[in-house]
Amino acid sequence: MKQYILQNAYFPFEDKVKNIYIKNKRVEKITDQSSSLDGDYSVIDLNLRLTIPGFVDSHMHLDKALINEAVINKSGTLTEAIKIMQSYKKKMTKEEVKERAEKVIQLSLKNGTRFIRTHIDVDSDIKLSSIDALLELKEEYKDSLEIQIVAFPQEGINENPENLLFMENALKRGADLVGGIPAIEKNPAKHIKDLTALALKYDVDIDMHIDETDDPNSLTILDLAETTIANKYEGRVTACHLCSLAAQKVGELEKIASRIAEAKINVISLPSTNLYLQGRGSETNAPRGVTPVRYLHGRDIPVMIGSDNIQDPFNPFGNGNMLEEALIAAHACHMGGEKELATLFDMTTVIPGENLKFDYAIKIGEKANFIVLDSYTKASAIVKQVSIYGDFLNENFTIRNK
């Protein structure tokens, strides 16, 4: 039976140094740094390296991942990406979705991700086959990472009421959250209200794609906030993208941010995908189209960073590496100072880990799925794009005998 002591592990979210006892790949106990080491263990001195439960990818589309291997978005636009998916989706099978999604899961695990929230299309074309594929993967990988599944109505529900039934059946099948994309509808407010009603019926949280556009007049975030408050769903709703906020003047942005804060809505920014997709209609001075991360975070709004799309028609890039996503965000959001980089690190770890209700902790008695980064500060982890120093999924710790 393999037994280890990880000595001098730095827990950055507690600002404490601890010793972790591992027995048969489980956390046996955690002691203070000053505690004497006891028992017949192999000792690994981490020398104050960052030790965390893992990275959190708060927004993915595992059912769409790697489709770029078969279909290319020639214009690079969001419009063409949606059209490609509408066509490609009709020939997708559960087996094919599962195969592609599993490749990305394995890649994410290798890069230190231990928590994933993924949006999965549910509609009359794909029905529940992609949901079934992810439910299987969720069970198969439950000892390695925690997956939350969002039932996502990519094709809308207002004019396709059958899709709302598929959404409900997805929840009955085991999906964890209700998703949404009001921009696809002629009446976005109705889309939000109908899906909120579904979430209320099954007592699940909500995670919607909101205002993924450069148009400053697109502010369905206000409809989402109003509906959230009216239904007393504060703290249970997440809004992703929010690109149109980047086009607002400061005075207007302050009003919108206040409403988001009042509704206690989580915000997830997707810098990689939105840097790629947004601003294509501008001939000069093209906007970045990225959520105003620094501004919203400064208003006590839980802001997070996700990867969104991995090598699919919406984004040809991505490799399941959250440190890379944080680096992209640092460039896009003008967050290069040490404290700002530390904040971006938190936006890929503890902020989504806690606010999206993952079991985000290194716990006694649990599997030793946490990771150790080859870095001593959050900022340097991003700037240097450090490697994973050790984890017990890959058993790549450097071992020395006691």
Question: How many residues belong to the chain?
Answer: 402
Confidence at 86, pLDDT banded by 50, 70, 90: confident
Note whether residue 370 is domain-resident.
Answer: yes
Note whether residue 371 is domain-resident.
Answer: yes
CA distance 218 to 356: 26
Across residues 33-44, what is the average pLDDT?
88
Query: Could you tell me if 367 and 316 lie in one domain?
Result: no
Coil/strand/helix, residue 136:
helix
Note whether residue 113 is domain-resident.
Answer: yes
Read off the tokens for 1. 């039976």
The answer to whether residue 400 scores a pLDDT higher than 70 is no
The whole-number pLDDT of residue 144 equals 95
Note whether residue 396 is domain-resident.
Answer: no
The answer to whether residue 214 scores a pLDDT higher than 70 is yes
The whole-number pLDDT of residue 266 equals 98
Confidence at 401, pLDDT banded by 50, 70, 90: very low
Mean pLDDT of the chain: 95
Query: Could you tell me if 244 and 279 lie in one domain?
Result: yes
Confidence at 2, pLDDT banded by 50, 70, 90: confident
For the chain, the domain total comes to 2
The whole-number pLDDT of residue 286 equals 86
The answer to whether residue 295 scores a pLDDT higher than 60 is yes
This model's pTM is above 0.85: yes
Q: Give burial (CB, 10 Å; 0-12/13-18/19+) of 26.
A: middle
Note whether residue 398 is domain-resident.
Answer: no
Look at the block and give the residue holding tokens 């890959």.
Answer: 394
Query: Could you tell me if 235 and 367 lie in one domain?
Result: no
pLDDT tens-digit series, residues 48-64: 999 999 999 999 999 99
pLDDT tens-digit series, residues 360-382: 999 999 999 999 999 999 999 99
Residues β-bridged to residue 237: 206
Query: Could you tell me if 139 and 46 lie in one domain?
Result: no
Query: Could you tell me if 37 and 74 lie in one domain?
Result: no
The answer to whether residue 1 scores a pLDDT higher than 60 is no
Query: Could you tell me if 191 and 316 lie in one domain?
Result: yes
Note whether residue 271 is domain-resident.
Answer: yes
Higher pLDDT, 231 or 82: 231
DSSP summary character for residue 18: E
Query: Could you tell me if 253 and 124 lie in one domain?
Result: yes
Query: Could you tell me if 82 and 19 lie in one domain?
Result: no
Across residues 204-226, what is the average pLDDT?
97
CATH number at residue 179: 3.20.20.140
CA-closest candidate to residue 209, choices 323, 339, 88, 119: 119
Query: Could you tell me if 333 and 296 lie in one domain?
Result: yes
CATH number at residue 18: 2.30.40.10
Q: Beta 113-121 vs 146-152: how paired, if at all?
A: parallel
pLDDT tens-digit series, residues 324-335: 999 999 999 999
The whole-number pLDDT of residue 178 equals 98
Note whether residue 325 is domain-resident.
Answer: yes
CB 313 within 8 A of CB 73: yes
CB 300 within 8 A of CB 343: no
DSSP string, 70-85: T---SS--HHHHHHHH
CA distance 114 to 147: 9
CA distance 50 to 362: 13
The answer to whether residue 347 scores a pLDDT higher than 70 is yes
The answer to whether residue 399 scores a pLDDT higher than 60 is no
CA distance 172 to 175: 7
Query: Could you tell me if 28 and 111 lie in one domain?
Result: no
Note whether residue 397 is domain-resident.
Answer: no
Across residues 325-350, what is the average pLDDT?
97
AA identity, residue 268: I
Query: Could you tell me if 329 and 188 lie in one domain?
Result: yes
Number of helices (H), then strands (E), in the chain: 13, 15
Read off the tokens for 170. 């997805």
Query: Could you tell me if 281 and 331 lie in one domain?
Result: yes
Write out the residue range of the structural domain in which residue 78 sits.
Answer: 55-355
Longest pairwise C-alpha distance within the chain: 68
